[in-house]
Amino acid sequence: MAQSVILVAQASTTSPAPADAVQNGTVVQEQGAAPAATGEVHATTEHSEAPVGFPPFDASTFASQFLWFAITFAVLYVVMSRVALPQIGSIIDKRKARIDGDLKEAERLKGETDKAISAYEAALSEARKNAHAIAEETRNSIRADIDAKRKAVEDDLSKKVAEAEARIGKTKQDALSRVNEIAADTTAALVHRLTGEANPADVQAAVAQAVKE
């Protein structure tokens, strides 16, 4: 950069116009009113009369700046505090309220969902318990039924067995009682054939005695 500054210094010797203008800026205000010099430099944009030195220190412009600053800043402040900021603030508040409301609503719905889930689970476990109970009951009743039927069948069977046994015993007894008779008849027939005669009463007594022996 230092190099280019030196170059500017050199340039000023070759091109007097701009370099003079730079110097005039200080020299002109130094000498106060120098109409020829200022007119030449500032002719294009100069509207205010009195040539000024350093513009920020030019007291003649203070009143205008003061006035317009006061007006514009007062307008800015009033409109900002009355219109602009409340408008934006209300939007932000509204959005915040909306988000909070939505969050609360979501919270509420979540609570409802949780409640529904727990109710469903309770119902499910209830149903499961009921199902257990019903199954147990059914099993019990079926078992009881089976038991009853088996018992009936067994009773029936044992009764029939007993009957059959009784019948067999009777038949046996009958048979046994017939044995004497048959033996007596047979004996009587044998005796009759052998002897030609037979007293049935004697035969029977003899048979009975033989059976006894």
Partner 1 sequence: MDPEAAKLMGKLIGAGIACIGMGGAGVGVGVIFGNYLSGALRNPAAAASQFSNLIFGFAVTEAMGIFSLVIAFLLLYAV
Partner 2 sequence: MAEQPIEPIHQFRITNLFDIGTFGGNGTEGSGTHLAFTNSALFMVLTVGLILAFLILGSNRRAIIPGRMQLMAEMTYEFVANMVRDTTGTEGMKFFPLVASLFLFVLVANLFGMFPYFFTVTSHLIVTVMLALIVFLTVVIYGFYKNGPRFLKVFVPSGIPWYIIWIVVPIEVLSFLSRPVSHSLRLWGNVLAGHIVLKVFGGMVVALLAAGAWGVVSILPFGMAVAMTGLEVLVAALQAFVFAVLTCVYLHDAMHPGH
Q: Which residues bind partner 2 (CB under 8 A)?
A: 1, 3-5, 7-8, 10-12, 14-15, 17-19, 21-22, 24-25, 41-42, 44-50, 52, 54-58, 60-70, 72-73, 75-77, 79-81, 83-85, 87-92, 94-95, 98
Quick one: what does residue 37 bind among partner 2, partner 1, none, with the CB cut-off 5 to 8 Å set by partner type?
none
Question: CB 57 → partner 1: shortest distance, Å?
Answer: 5
Can you tell me the distance from the alpha carbon of 138 to that of 185, in angstroms, rounded to the nearest whole number? Answer: 68
Q: CB burial class (10 A; 0-12, 13-18, 19+) of residue 172?
A: exposed
Binding partner 1 by CB under 8 A: which of 7, 8, 26, 153?
26
Task: Write phi, then psi, for 176 (nearest 5 degrees).
Answer: -60, -40
Is 54 a residue that touches partner 1 (CB under 8 A)?
yes
Question: CB 128 → partner 2: shortest distance, Å?
Answer: 48
Question: CB 99 → partner 2: shortest distance, Å?
Answer: 9
Per the CB < 8 A criterion, the answer to whether 46 and 38 are in contact is yes
Helices assigned H by DSSP within the chain: 2-14, 16-30, 35-42, 62-79, 85-195, 200-212
Is 89 a residue that touches partner 1 (CB under 8 A)?
no
Is 62 a residue that touches partner 1 (CB under 8 A)?
no
Per the CB < 8 A criterion, the answer to whether 207 and 185 are in contact is no
How many other β-carbons are positioned within 10 Å of the β-carbon of residue 53?
13
Closer by beta carbon to partner 2, 94 or else 150: 94
In Å, what is the CA distance from 193 to each residue of 184, 196, 207? 14, 5, 17
Binding partner 1 by CB under 8 A: which of 40, 48, 57, 199?
57
Q: Interhelix angle for 16-30 vs 2-14, to 10°? A: 90
Place of tokens 């350093």: 54
Quick one: what does residue 81 bind among partner 2, partner 1, none, with the CB cut-off 5 to 8 Å set by partner type?
partner 2
Closer by beta carbon to partner 2, 95 or else 151: 95
Is 158 a residue that touches partner 1 (CB under 8 A)?
no
Is 53 a residue that touches partner 1 (CB under 8 A)?
yes
Residues in contact with partner 1 by CB under 8 A are 26, 29-30, 53-54, 57
